Structure 1
Amino acid sequence: MGSATTQALEATEAALRAAKGVDLSVARELFAAAQTVGDSSQLSGALADSAAPRTARTAVVAAVFGSFRPVTVALLTTVVEQRWSNADELVTGIEELAVRGASIAGGAADVEGELFRFSRTIADNPELELALGSRLGDTAAKGALIETLLKGRASDATTLIVASLVQQPRERRVRQILARAMGIVADQRGRTVASVVSAAPLSAAQLDRLATALSARYGAAVSLNTQVDPTVVGGLRVQIGDDVIDASVATRLHDLRQRLAG
């Protein structure tokens, strides 16, 4: 990600924080805008062209998305007023804004946890992952499938995020998309996501102690996504972003065998 995009994201996040009336309808329109812009190299190029006058770029937004809600149009206007490193990153910026909007609209719903649980469902079902990730499948059908799978099992915010993202993969794997969405939602809510793998389910007290310790280490509230995997034998494997804390017995045994083998 270029420095221009980093600054652009900061500006759009600030605009979202200041916006009033951000609900699921606004988030849905932002996802639709991301898909429309992403599907048209001509449109994405025009909106990302920093050499073009700012008024020209905002006029394009008004012409293409003028039927959207005023708050949506205002957010999209902020997006195109920024300087982006390239057109793809502009599309990614709109998509991130949509995920953040859905997170806000989700209120107290455990959107991060629901995204994590669905990502585990994908990981455990190769046929489902193949169906959702196939370039040949009908995109609308993929969205409808997600809505069917998550009905009654996840919040409307989570369903919107997943259904929208699987329809615009842009050369990304489904689990990669979900992992990024989890990170965005956690960041929007001022938290950091930690993936925890243990040999057996952890008690509530153990989870509380682990969350407290990780929060102290990283200086932010930490949300735990847990997974049971008997192959770790004992101990824990924790991943936060690119950091991995591996205190599993399986890893220690592997390291010991490596040292003995010279």
Structure 2
Amino acid sequence: MGSATREALASSKKALAALPTGALTLSTGEDLFAAGRIIGESAQFRSLLGDPSTEPAAKKALINAVFSAGLGADALSLLTAITTAHWSTPDELLAGIEEIALRVVAATVPAGTSIESELFAFGEAVASDAGLELAIGSTLGSPAAKVSLIDALLEGKASEQTVVIVRHLVQQPRGRRIAELLGRAADIVADAANQSIATVTSATPIAPEQLARLTTALGRSYGRELKINQIVDPTILGGLRVEIAGDVIDGSIEARLNDLRLRLAG
């Protein structure tokens, strides 16, 4: 991420924070996702908005001309703030629109609902079925067919917010695999609630009291509340592998054996 993008993302988050939280709706997030897809489908449109030499006033006029009739007031305001900022690349502009849309959706989640957990569960289901992963991730399938498949898979099993997010991700993957799409979305949603996600892999299920101690210790180390995703993988033999905020803490027996093999081979 370039320095221009970091500044643009920060200003976009400020524009979001300036809106009354209670006024944000799921439709606002859907509008932003849809606008991002329209911009993404036109290389010329995307390049013009992502060009630092294009004056902010010209960008604003273009956004109004294309979207004023189709977007709600809050979505249009946010889209204008995002697109008139100076992004390092057009692709990072698209990523910025997606991130702000994710944060809007996160703000509409009902109490007691964890869309991070729902995204994780869906990712695990897809990863366990090669045919399903191909159907969702293939560049050959039409976006409409993928959306229909998502609706069939998640109907009655996930919140509206999760369905909206997954629908968007499969329509605009931007070269990313489904696991990366879902993982990045979950990280942003968690960050919107001042949390981070830790994925803990163990050979057998972790006892609740041990998991609580691990959560507390990791939270203290990283300075924020954590959401834990658990994966049971017998192939690691024993110990734990923890992935959090781009860090990997691998204390599994598998990792130790591999390290020993490398030492012996050397």
TMscore range, shorter length: over 0.9
Distance 1:219 1:127, change over 3 A: same
Q: Compute the RMSD of aligned alpha carbons.
A: 1.3
In structure 2, what is the Cα distance between the partners aligned to 1:255 and 1:56? 57
Give the letter aligned to residue 51 of structure 1.
Answer: S
Distance 1:257 1:103, change over 3 A: same
The equivalent of 1:167 in structure 2 is 171
Runs of 4+ in structure 1 deviating by more than 4 angstroms, as ranges, are: none
**1:259 Cα deviation after fit:** 3.5
**1:246 Cα deviation after fit:** 1.1
2:120 pairs with one of 116, 119, 132:
116
**1:62 Cα deviation after fit:** 1.0
**1:174 Cα deviation after fit:** 1.2
1:249 pairs with one of 237, 253, 257:
253
Deviations 1:164-200 (CA, angstroms, capped at 9, x unpaired): 1101112111111111111111111111111100111
The equivalent of 1:90 in structure 2 is 93
Deviations 1:13-64 (CA, angstroms, capped at 9, x unpaired): 1111221321110000010001000001121122222222221111111111
Mean CA deviation greater in 247-256 or 231-240:
247-256
2:51 pairs with one of 19, 27, 49:
49
Unaligned runs of 5+ in 2: none
SS at match of 1:171: coil
In structure 2, what is the Cα distance between the partners aligned to 1:243 and 1:97? 24
Give the letter aligned to residue 238 of structure 1.
Answer: V
State how 1:1-16 maps to structure 2 within 5 Å.
1-16=1-16
Give the letter aligned to residue 71 of structure 1.
Answer: D
In structure 2, what is the Cα distance between the partners aligned to 1:30 and 1:127? 31
SS at match of 2:52: coil
2:110 pairs with one of 104, 107, 110:
107
In structure 2, what is the Cα distance between the partners aligned to 1:5 and 1:148? 37
Give the letter aligned to residue 75 of structure 1.
Answer: L
**1:251 Cα deviation after fit:** 2.0
The equivalent of 1:189 in structure 2 is 193
Identity score, percent? 47
Give the letter aligned to residue 86 of structure 1.
Answer: T
The equivalent of 1:142 in structure 2 is 146
Q: TM-score, normalised by structure 2?
A: 0.94
Deviations 1:80-115 (CA, angstroms, capped at 9, x unpaired): 221011211111111111111111112332011111
Unaligned runs of 5+ in 1: none
Give the letter aligned to residue 34 of structure 2.
Answer: A
**1:232 Cα deviation after fit:** 1.5
1:38 pairs with one of 32, 37, 40:
40
Deviations 1:201-233 (CA, angstroms, capped at 9, x unpaired): 112212211110001111111111101011112
The equivalent of 2:157 in structure 1 is 153
In structure 2, what is the Cα distance between the partners aligned to 1:239 and 1:181? 16
In structure 2, what is the Cα distance between the partners aligned to 1:91 and 1:208? 38
Give the letter aligned to residue 19 of structure 2.
Answer: A
Give the letter aligned to residue 38 of structure 1.
Answer: G
In structure 2, what is the Cα distance between the partners aligned to 1:131 and 1:91? 24
SS at match of 1:105: coil
In structure 2, what is the Cα distance between the partners aligned to 1:207 and 1:5? 37
1:219 pairs with one of 196, 205, 223:
223
In structure 2, what is the Cα distance between the partners aligned to 1:161 and 1:71? 18
The equivalent of 1:77 in structure 2 is 80
